[in-house]
Structure 1
Amino acid sequence: MVNVGLTLNENHSLHDSLLNGYPCPENPSRLEQIQEYLKSTDLLDGVRCRMYDSKAASVNDILRVHTKEYVEFVKSCTKDSRLSSKDVYVCPSSFDVLLEATGCVLNAGDLVVTGKCKHSFALIRPPGHHAGPDTSSGFCVFNNSGVLARYLQEVHGLERIAIINIDAHASDGTHAVFEADPSVLCISIHQDQSTLYPYKGFIRDIGVRPALGYCINMEMPPEASNPEYNVLYDEVVEKVLAKFDPQMVILECGFDAYHKEALTKLNLTIDGYYQIIFKLALKWNIVALLEGGYHNDLGLLTSVVLRALVGESSIKDDVNLVDLLASRHAKTRKDFNNNLSLLKMRLEPYWGL
């Protein structure tokens, strides 16, 4: 068995804001960085990690989550590169790119659920976690993790799926898909939503009946770093996952909680990402999907995630954590502890925290 299967939508460069005449941080250079970095490593040896070809998804695959009217609207928008959301762009070939990206996501799920690979990582763009059933938002058009979860349920018969978001921005689109579905547990760990787009996903938002407690939002205060993420994982995430007992974990793997990300204010380091993924991969099969991240270390962090999934030692951290913690605002840990207490109180009736 291959440890980690990778998929990549090769046509992603056809989805580029520069084709419309303006720059955007969500652009082809993101995947190009990752590809170039991985070529410089020994990870893609066919045993630890292997790249797999994928075929495009069908429109019917997308319709498992998105409305027919919305899908048709997106397709029509590509003809003249328009879309209603001000923070989402499309190009003439974007619909084909979206179908191929979704195909890579479905293949990543197939690789794990059929036992070909222990874990997988879909290196795709554009991202998806802000897209709702009939809305685009935050660079996202189709909800990749939502489409995968429904595919795993309907095609492979999985009954319990967990979706975990570690992107700095809340997974509002994914939660909109599953907020009333107790078969899919959604956990989003993101920057305090009073300080960051999409200004949704507050601790008080825990889903709706019959799935109260199955949408979990943790607001991390600005400057939160590895220690806070580790405490949250140990005291909430792992305990909830153990009780829910997912047959698959879909990881919305955003790299914008990184300390070098200019668009956010979180301070995860190389070791912070490694510890999260390593702990998850010890107990559950993971299908990771690339989400946000707009800095120059995307390739480095991708390799860190792969090493964590494989179970190898991480790359040495490039930052002195003591110095990083010492330089942050004194309120950070206090605000984190307050938020953690509030989260536990909200979840106590459902998960016994």
Structure 2
Amino acid sequence: MTRVGITFNKNHHLHDSLLNGYPCPENPQRIQNILEYLESSGLIDGEIFRFYDSIPASVMDILRVHTREYVDLIKACTRDPRQSPGNDVYVCPSSFDVTLHALGCVLKAGDLVISGECRHAYALIRPPGHHAGPDSCNGFCIFNNSGILARYMLEKKGLERIAIINIDAHASDGTYAAFEADPRVLCISMHQDQKTLYPFKGFIKDIGVRPAIGYCINMEMPTESGNPEYSLFYDEVAEKILDKFNPQLVILECGFDAYHKEPLAKLNLTVDGYYRIIFKLASKWNVVTLLEGGYHDDLGLLASVVLRALAGLENIKDEVDQIDLLASRHAKTRKEFNNNLSLLKARLEPYWGHI
């Protein structure tokens, strides 16, 4: 068995804001940087890690999450790229085809894992998806990649319990909107305090609606939170609830903008922080990881960290001095984190018991 299968949408470069005449941080260079880094690292050996081709998804796959009216809006905007379907969302004439190829990569990644051909999979796709709800989109996203994969697995593959975990710096508001009333899908999002960062949604109080109250979990990470806070939240809340839920598949919305070098957020995860969460997930459950945000120069480095964690290989050396990083941050970070963690535990106790 190949430990980790990798897919990527080869036509992603046709979705490019420069085709509309302006720059955007969500651009083709993101995946290009990752692929160049992986090639130069020699990590992809064809045995532990292997690339797989995929075929485009269908419109019917998109309709598992999104409304027909919304899909028609996206198509209309591609015919007139001067129109935008949402805030901070651009489209080009080929964007719809690019999204179909991206979703095809996502579904292929899921098939590889469920069939047993691979233990885990990593879909290196763009545009990202976690801000796209059933009938709207924002924040560089067009269609909800993780949501469409989850519904595909429920409806076509017969799965009954799926967990979607978000570690992007921004709240997974589109995924929340799609599954807030679906107890088959456990959504856990750990993201920067939404009083300080777009989309200004995803608060601790937001835990889903009937019949799925308690199945949408939002942890607000104070600005400057890093490896210690993420580890505590994962160990004390996320993993315990995952153990109780016992998912048949974990879909990881893996944004790299919680990284300490990210210019669009204020969190301090390092390579060790990413590695630890993903390694712990992969040691217990089958994981399909999807590329989400991240707009700095270390995307390739972090992608290699994800692959190592999924495969159970030793991590690369973390060059960040954790003592200096902790000393340089504001003293109230840990206090705010502890308060938030206590509030969340109290909020979830009626649904998950004492955690």
Tell me the TM-score range normalised by the shorter chain: over 0.9
Give the deviation of 1:265 after TM superposition: 0.2
- Give 1:57 deviation, angstroms: 0.3
1:37 aligns with 2:40: no
* Consecutive aligned runs of 4 or more in structure 1 exceeding 3 Å deviation: none
Is 1:69 aligned with 2:76?
A: no
Deviation, 1:87, is 0.5
* Residue identity opposite 1:210 in structure 2: P
Distance in 2 separating the partners of 1:159 and 1:42: 38
Answering whether residue 179 of structure 2 is matched by residue 178 of structure 1, we say: yes
Q: CA deviation at 1:268?
A: 0.1
Cα deviation code 1:197-228 (max 9, x no counterpart): 00000000000000000000000000000000
Give the deviation of 1:90 after TM superposition: 0.0
Q: Who is 2:10 aligned against?
A: 10
Residue 41 of structure 1 deviates from its aligned partner by 1.7
Separation in 1, partners of 2:286, 2:154: 15
CA distance in structure 1 between the partners assigned to 2:167 and 2:229 by the alignment: 13
Amino acid at match of 2:47: V
* CA distance, structure 2, for counterparts of residue 315 and residue 265 of structure 1: 24
Query: Partner of 1:199 in structure 2?
Result: 200
Partner of 1:145: 146
Q: What residue in structure 2 maps to residue 25 of structure 1?
A: 25
1:4-35 CA-partner distances (Å, limit 9, x unpaired): 00000000000000000000000000000000
SS where residue 45 of structure 1 aligns? coil
Equivalent residue for 2:248?
A: 247
1:159 and 2:163 matched: no
Q: Structure 1, residues 125-165: CA drift from partner, whole Å, max 9, x if none?
A: 00000000010110001000000000001111000000000
Q: Distance in 1 between matches of 2:51 and 2:241?
A: 32
Report sequence identity in percent: 74
Residues in 2 aligned to 1:258 and 1:291: alpha-carbon distance in whole angstroms: 13
Aligned to 2:237: 236
User: Deviation at 1:84?
Assistant: 3.3
1:271-302 Cα deviation digits (max 9, x unpaired): 00000100100000000000000000000000
| Distance (Å, rounded) in 2 between the aligned partners of 1:213 and 1:341 | 16
The aligned counterpart of 1:311 is 312
Whether the 8 Å contact between 2:56 and 2:105 is mirrored in structure 1 is yes
Q: Deviations over 1:66-118 (max 9, x none)?
A: 00111011011101112232310000000000000000000000000000000
DSSP-derived class of the 1:118 partner: strand
Shift of 1:329: 0.0
Spell out, residue by residue over 1:212-264, the C-alpha distance to the aligned partner (whole angstroms, 9 max, x if none): 00000000000000000111111000000000000000000000000000110
Q: Distance in 2 between matches of 1:340 and 1:20?
A: 43
- 1:45 shift after superposition: 0.8
**1:110 partner letter:** D
Map residues 1-353 of structure 1 onto 2, 5 A cutoff. 1-81=1-81, 82-352=83-353, 353=355
Deviation at 1:194, TM superposition (A): 0.1
Task: Name the CA distance, whole Å, in 2 between partners of 1:85 and 1:151.
Answer: 25
**Alpha-carbon distance in 2 for matches of 1:67, 1:211:** 21
2:87 and 2:315 mapped to 1: Cα distance? 39
State how many pairs are aligned.
Answer: 353
- Across the aligned residues of Structure 1 and Structure 2, the Cα RMSD in angstroms comes to 0.5
Distance 1:286 1:150 in 2: 16
Does the CA-based 8 Å contact 2:87-2:137 persist in structure 1?
no
Q: CA deviation at 1:42?
A: 2.4
Determine helix, strand or coil for the equivalent of 2:288.
Answer: strand
Task: Provide the rounded CA distance (Å) in 1 between the counterparts of 2:128 and 2:87.
Answer: 16
**d(CA) in 2 for partners of 1:307, 1:261:** 21
- Letter in structure 1 aligned against 2:282: A
Measured in 2, the distance between the counterparts of 1:239 and 1:93 equals 43
Q: Structure 1: where are the runs of 5+ without partners?
A: none
* 1:311 CA displacement: 0.4
CA contact (8 A) 2:74 2:85 kept: no
Deviation string, structure 1 residues 161-220 (Cα, Å, up to 9, x no partner): 000000000000000000000000000000000000000000000000000000000000
- TM-score when normalising by structure 2: 0.99
